[in-house]
């Protein structure tokens, strides 16, 4: 095993990952729609895919830099003419430069086929907005319940009553729609429909979602039990049968760390032992 091999393989794998995340970010609905409807692919949000893309891109650049370092002589050979004299603007370099310049210029001036790629992306974004629904205003999910209700001309007290009657936990008027959606395993879009008295306002069955909502690892066992209608002492006793010791004040992350497991695995265990309680 040599550093040259590790560098080449790292550059290759990070390139594949970067292409994958680029395709996903090309397909994702507009940010305002993705955040409003809590869009996900393979369980990851638009923000998470963007974060992965940034760090994998950085890894690719670092690996590419090392790759150039280890292959400096062959690279320089590409810039030599038939007499083995250094010449930057060789035929191969000129072709590569022309391709890059045409791509940039074609994109800026919206010339086919470059404009086709952008038009197709716009069509995908519009289709996503139609499918998942537009928020009433930009980043509405970041508004508090009181602020959102005021902007939408909805009585805040009545909105909270509708949410609680539908089985959603509301900690206060200062709680953002995004935080409320996360703790209840739903989306800001659904919460808005409930506030308006839409079909989603039918009381929902309490129960743990199939996958842990974002931020679940920070919640204490007591908060999880309150949110999903579970008896805390019964849950603690059930976890002990799995050799997992916990108290109601422990967060999921603390419990998982203490038992050498991931929060996702712990959540799956909690869901399995909580099923008979729901």
Q: What is the pLDDT of residues 53-108, one digit of tens each?
A: 999 999 999 998 888 888 787 777 776 666 666 666 777 778 888 999 999 999 88
**157 and 74 together in one domain:** no
In the predicted model, is pLDDT for residue 249 greater than 50? yes
User: How many structural domains are present in the chain?
Assistant: 3
**154 and 62 together in one domain:** no
**106 and 72 together in one domain:** yes
Measured CA to CA, the distance from residue 177 to residue 27 in angstroms comes to: 25
In the predicted model, is pLDDT for residue 276 greater than 70? no
User: DSSP strand E in 2-138: where?
Assistant: 40-41, 44-45
**268 and 247 together in one domain:** yes
Per-residue confidence (pLDDT) for residue 214, from 0 to 100: 57
46-60, 127-141, 236-250: segment of lowest average pLDDT: 127-141
**230 and 160 together in one domain:** no
**115 and 151 together in one domain:** no
Residue 127: inside a domain, yes or no?
A: yes
Task: Count CB neighbours of 35 within 10 A.
Answer: 25
Beta-bridge partners for 41 = 44
Residue 209: inside a domain, yes or no?
A: no
**164 and 267 together in one domain:** no
Residue 206: inside a domain, yes or no?
A: no
Residue 169: inside a domain, yes or no?
A: yes
Measured CA to CA, the distance from residue 261 to residue 278 in angstroms comes to: 25
**121 and 179 together in one domain:** no
Beta-bridge partners for 86 = 80
Work out the angle at residue 141's Cα, subtended by the Cα atoms of residues 139 and 147, and round it to the nearest 5 degrees. 95
Residue 208: inside a domain, yes or no?
A: no
Per-residue confidence (pLDDT) for residue 207, from 0 to 100: 65
**28 and 112 together in one domain:** yes
- Which range of residues forms the domain containing residue 183? 140-201
Percent of the chain with pLDDT over 90: 11
Measured CA to CA, the distance from residue 274 to residue 236 in angstroms comes to: 10
**101 and 172 together in one domain:** no
24-38, 56-70, 185-199, 208-222: segment of lowest average pLDDT: 208-222
Measured CA to CA, the distance from residue 251 to residue 15 in angstroms comes to: 37
**128 and 144 together in one domain:** no
201-205, 225-229, 241-245: segment of lowest average pLDDT: 201-205
DSSP letter for 40, please: E
Question: In the structure, what pLDDT confidence band is assigned to residue 202 with cuts at 50, 70 and 90?
Answer: very low
In the predicted model, is pLDDT for residue 204 greater than 80? no
Residue 211: inside a domain, yes or no?
A: no
What is the rounded end-to-end Cα distance, in angstroms, of the chain?
53
């Amino acid at each position: 095993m040599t550093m040259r091999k590790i560098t080449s393989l790292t550059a290759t794998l990070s390139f594949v990952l970067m292409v994958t995340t680029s395709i996903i970010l090309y397909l994702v609905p507009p940010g305002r729609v993705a955040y409003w409807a809590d869009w996900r692919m393979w369980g990851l949000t638009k923000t998470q895919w963007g974060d992965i893309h940034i760090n994998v891109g950085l890894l690719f650049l670092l690996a590419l830099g090392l790759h150039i370092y280890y292959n400096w002589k062959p690279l320089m050979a590409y810039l030599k003419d038939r007499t083995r004299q250094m010449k930057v603007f060789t035929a191969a370099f000129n072709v590569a430069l022309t391709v890059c310049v045409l791509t940039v210029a074609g994109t800026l001036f919206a010339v086919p086929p470059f404009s086709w790629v952008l038009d197709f992306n716009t069509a995908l974004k519009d289709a996503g907005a139609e499918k998942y629904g537009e928020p009433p205003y930009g980043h509405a999910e970041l508004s508090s319940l009181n602020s959102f209700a005021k902007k939408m001309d909805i009585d805040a007290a009545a909105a909270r009553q509708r949410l609680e009657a539908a089985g959603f936990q509301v900690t206060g008027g200062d709680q953002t729609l995004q935080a409320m959606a996360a703790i209840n395993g739903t989306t800001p879009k659904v919460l808005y429909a409930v506030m308006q008295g839409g079909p989603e306002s039918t009381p929902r069955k309490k129960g743990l979602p199939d996958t842990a909502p974002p931020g679940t690892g920070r919640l204490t066992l007591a908060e999880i039990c309150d949110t999903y209608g579970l008896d805390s002492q019964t849950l603690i006793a059930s976890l002990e049968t799995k050799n997992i010791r916990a108290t109601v004040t422990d967060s999921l992350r603390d419990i998982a760390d203490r038992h050498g497991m991931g929060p996702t695995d712990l959540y799956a265990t909690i869901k399995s032992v909580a099923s008979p309680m729901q």
